[in-house]
Structure 1
Amino acid sequence: MPQLTAITRFPVKGFGPDRLELVELNAGHTLPFDRAWAIENGPGDFDPARPAHVKKRHFLMLAGQTGLAQLACRFDAAGEHFAVRFPEGETITITLGEAASHAPFFARLETLLGEDVRGTLRIAHVPGQALTDIPDPHISLINAASVRDLEARTGHAIDPLRFRGNLLIDGLEPWAEFGWIGRDVSIDGVRLRGQSRIRRCAATSVNPATSRRDIDLPAALMAQYGHADCGIYMSVETNGVIALGDDFECSGSGQT
Structure 2
Amino acid sequence: MSTLSGSEVGAGPAGRVVALRCFPVKAAGGESLAALEVTPSGVAGDREWAVYDQADKLASGKHTRRLRRMDEVFALVASRRGGDTVLVLPDGTEVVAGESGADTALSTHFREPVRLRREDAIPHQDAAPVSVVGTATLAELGRHEGDGRPLDPRHLRTNIVVETQEPYVEESWVGHEVSIGGVRLRVTDRTERCRMVGVAQVDLPPRPGMLKVVSVHHDLRAGVYAEVVAPGRIALGDEAGLA
Answer yes or no: same fold by TM over 0.5: yes
What is the distance in 2 between the residues matched to 1:201 and 1:122?
Answer: 24
Q: Does 1:237 align with 2:236?
A: no
Distance 1:103 1:84 in 2: 13
Distance 2:86 2:131 in 1: 23
The 5-angstrom pairing of residues 101-180 of structure 1 reads 101-110=101-110, 114=111, 119-127=112-120, 130-134=123-127, 136=128, 138-155=129-146, 156-157=148-149, 158-180=151-173
Gaps of 5+ in 2: 1-13, 63-68
Matched residue SS, 2:79: strand
What whole-Å deviation, never above 9, does each CA across 1:30-72 have from its counterpart, x for those lacking one? 111111111112223xxxxxxxxxxxxx222244333433334
Name the SS for the 2:26 alignment partner: coil
1:142/1:165 contact within 8 Å kept: yes
Structure 2 counterparts to residues 221-236 of structure 1, below 5 A: 221-225=214-218, 227-236=219-228
What is the alpha-carbon distance in structure 2 between the residues aligned to residue 237 and residue 103 of structure 1? 36
Contact kept, 8 Å, 1:66 with 1:211, in 2: the verdict is: no
Change (3 A) 1:239 1:72: closer
| Offset of residue 101 of structure 1 | 2.9
Q: Could you tell me which of 213, 217, 222 is aligned with 2:210?
A: 217
Question: In structure 2, how many angstroms separate the alpha carbons of the residues matched to 1:189 and 1:81?
Answer: 25
Q: Who is 2:50 aligned against? A: 38
Give the TM-score taking structure 1 as reference length: 0.77
Once residues 232 and 246 of structure 1 are traced to their aligned partners in structure 2, the CA distance between those partners, rounded to angstroms, is: 19
Using the alignment, how far apart are the partners of 2:206 and 2:70 within structure 1?
11
What amino acid maps onto 2:58 in structure 1?
F
Gaps of 5+ in 1: 45-57, 252-256
- Provide the rounded CA distance (Å) in 1 between the counterparts of 2:162 and 2:204: 25
Distance (Å, rounded) in 1 between the aligned partners of 2:203 and 2:120:
33
More strand by share: 2
Shift in CA distance, 103/23, structure 1 to aligned 2, threshold 3 Å: closer
Quote the Cα distance in structure 1 between the aligned partners of 2:118 and 2:161.
Answer: 26
Is residue 2:23 matched to residue 1:10?
yes
- Output the amino acid matched with 1:71: L
Q: Aligned with 1:237: secondary structure? A: strand
Decide whether the 8 Å contact of 2:78 with 2:85 is kept in 1.
no
Provide the C-alpha distance between the structure 2 equivalents of 1:211 and 1:243, rounded to a whole number of angstroms: 24
What is the aligned-residue RMSD (CA, Å)?
A: 2.3
Give the distance between the partners of 1:43 and 1:191, measured in 2 at CA: 38
What is the CA distance between 1:189 and its match in structure 2?
A: 4.4
Alignment partners' CA distance in 1, 2:186 and 2:55: 37
Identity within the alignment, % = 24
Q: Structure 2 length normalisation: TM-score?
A: 0.81
Residue in 2 aligned with 1:248?
A: 240
- Check whether the contact 1:13–1:61 (CA below 8 A) recurs between aligned residues: yes
Q: Is contact 2:77–2:202 with CA below 8 Å preserved after alignment?
A: no
Q: Secondary structure of the residue that 2:43 maps to in structure 1? A: coil
SS in structure 2 of the partner of residue 2 of structure 1: strand
Instruction: Please tell me whether the aligned partners of residues 30 and 139 of structure 1 are also in contact (alpha carbons under 8 angstroms).
Output: yes
CA separation of 1:125 and 1:74: change in aligned 2, threshold 3 A: closer
Amino acid at match of 1:97: G
Alignment partners' CA distance in 1, 2:123 and 2:31: 15
Supply the distance in 2 between the matched residues of 1:210 and 1:22 (Cα, whole angstroms). 22
The letter of the residue matching 1:147 is L
- 2:83 corresponds in structure 1 to 79
- Residues 128 and 249 of structure 1: is their aligned pair in 2 closer, same or farther, counting only changes over 3 Å? farther
Is contact 1:67-1:211 (8 Å) kept?
A: no
